Structure formats: C-alpha cells, structure tokens
Amino acid sequence: MTDGRWIEVADHVHARRYGELDLTVGLVVGDDACLVVDSRGDVAQGAELAAAVRGITALPWTLVYTHAHFDHCFGTTPFLPCEVWAHQGCAGELAAHGETSRLKWAADYRAQGKTGIADALRNTTITPPNRLLRTDAELDLGGRVVRLVHLGPAHTDHDVLVHVPDVGVVFAGDVVEHGPHGWTAESFGVDAHLADWPAALDALLALSPRVVVAGHGDPVDAAFVARHRDGLARLVALRTAVAAGELTDGEALARSPYPEDVTRAALAL
C-alpha cells in the first residue's frame, strides 16, 4: 500500500490510509469548514497530514480525536490554532498517561530501528482537546452537519464516532478495525471493554451506515461490522465460561472464531 493514500468514501468525505500501523484517518468537507478525524502519531506525521488536507481544501479546519491512543492524536501541533474535540475521558487519559505513552513509543520505535519516528515522537508536544463532549455534539460545517457520538465503552471508555448522516458514513476509530481476521491482537489493549463492545457496535449499526471507516485498515460496510459484532459476542461468552470454570483456556481457544493471538488478547489468557 502506498503511504498516504486518499480514498473518497462519499461526496467530499475522505479516508486517508497509511502503511505505518495500517492507520486510517479522515476528512469531512462542508461549504464553510472541514473536520479532520484524528491527527496521526507525531509532529512530523501530523505535518504530512495537514499538508495533505490542504491539497484537498483551503477551508478552516476543526480536529476530533476518536480516542487517546498516540497514533490517533499526537500529531496535532501543525494544525494549531484550531478547535480540538474529544470525549472528556480522552482529555483525562492524555493528562494522566500521555507523556508516559509518548516516551514509551519513542523508545519502542528506536528499538525497532525506526529512528525517524522515534525522533519525531521525542519532538512532539501533546495537544489536549479544548472542546469536550460527554455523549454527543453537532458540528455545522456549512451545508453539512456532522455528529460526534460516544456510544459507551468499547476499544476504550472514551471512543468518539464521527457520523456524517447525509452520506451514511461513520468514522469509527478503533471501535472497528479491519485486520486480516477482523480484529487484531492489538485491538484488545488494557483499556478495552470487551463485555460492552458488542453493544457499542449495535448502536453504531443503528445509525444505518453505508460506509464505516475503520481506525486501521480499509473502510468496511455494515455487514462487516455485524459479523464482527457477533464475533465479539462469542468472545465475551467464551471469557465468561472460562471465568466460571466451564471451559479451559485451551477449549476457549479452540472454540474462538479468531486466531489464537487475537483470542488470547481478548480473553486476557
């Protein structure tokens, strides 16, 4: 995949795909303003994205963070000054753990030999959101209203979806991922809420999306989301059975619809 590839998923609604972490960010353009969905993972990556947005539109921008993980929101500095929206829990997570995450990932990338990204993270200043929501908010971009929606705990406790109702597009952040098997092991970090996640996907599907832009991987459709909602529900049932002593770890792994690494991460085995 070519790094930095735009996909127009609907009229003036774009997803941008990256090879690094298989990340997907977004852009929604109205008549008067545009909304950038996530800012990538460091100041250099954010500068690339800002320039790419300017290749599409010169309209003033607003940013939204889908959640507080570094790859989605550490690249904001090149967009400033602007409004930056996020769930209030995202602000708390960045304040409590953002700097620790930045230093950890800088060290991890240096250990991988990716010194350019490591150096960029070292030079990155984390930008906290300055506009907070608890459940939802509406942004008028001029001729197009975009909804920011918190559907409850899922990938984190503060995920925000970006719903563009006039064209049936939802930017889902990491509430939806499109790895080789649907989910990846990285989907289920320590701040994931497995038991609540299927309900969040039900609420997403209730928006009747035509296109769902996953936080990682190519955009998907509602059928993909429904299939992996069912897969998550199966994982929840397996974890419950293991906790109750009704299944061994090995039996749960054998009955999972997902590969072993994904199942182990989801079930914390």
Spatial distance between the Cα atoms of 105 and 118, rounded to a whole number of angstroms: 7
Considering the chain, what is the average pLDDT of its residues? 97
Cβ partners under 8 Å of residue 190, min gap 6 = none
Reading phi first (left if > 0) and then psi (alpha if -120 to 50, else beta), residue 240 is in: alpha
Reported confidence tier of residue 225, pLDDT bands at 50, 70, 90: very high
- Name which of 14, 26, 20 is nearest 1 in CA terms: 20
Reported confidence tier of residue 173, pLDDT bands at 50, 70, 90: very high
3-state secondary structure of 150: coil
* Tens digit of each residue's pLDDT (9 = 90 or more) over 238-265: 999 999 999 999 999 999 999 999 999 9
Q: Are 104 and 112 in contact (CB under 8 A)?
A: no
* Tens digit of each residue's pLDDT (9 = 90 or more) over 39-84: 999 999 999 999 999 999 999 999 999 999 999 999 999 999 999 9
C-beta neighbour count of 20 within 10 angstroms: 14
- Name which of 153, 138, 168, 157 is nearest 35 in CA terms: 138
Domains and CATH numbers, the chain: 5-267 (3.60.15.10)
Mean predicted confidence (pLDDT) in 195-222? 98
Give yes or no for residue 1 having a pLDDT over 60.
no
Question: For residue 3, what pLDDT is reported?
Answer: 82
- Name which of 141, 142, 120, 96 is nearest 40 in CA terms: 120
70 exposure class (CB count in 10 Å sphere: 0-12, 13-18, 19+): buried
Alpha helix segments (H runs only) across the chain: 43-54, 70-73, 88-111, 115-122, 197-205, 222-243, 249-255, 260-267
Please give the span between the terminal C-alpha atoms of the chain, in angstroms, as a whole number: 33
3-state secondary structure of 162: strand
Q: Which amino acid is at 91?
A: A
Alpha helix segments (H runs only) across 64-192: 70-73, 88-111, 115-122
Q: Are 36 and 63 in contact (CB under 8 A)?
A: yes
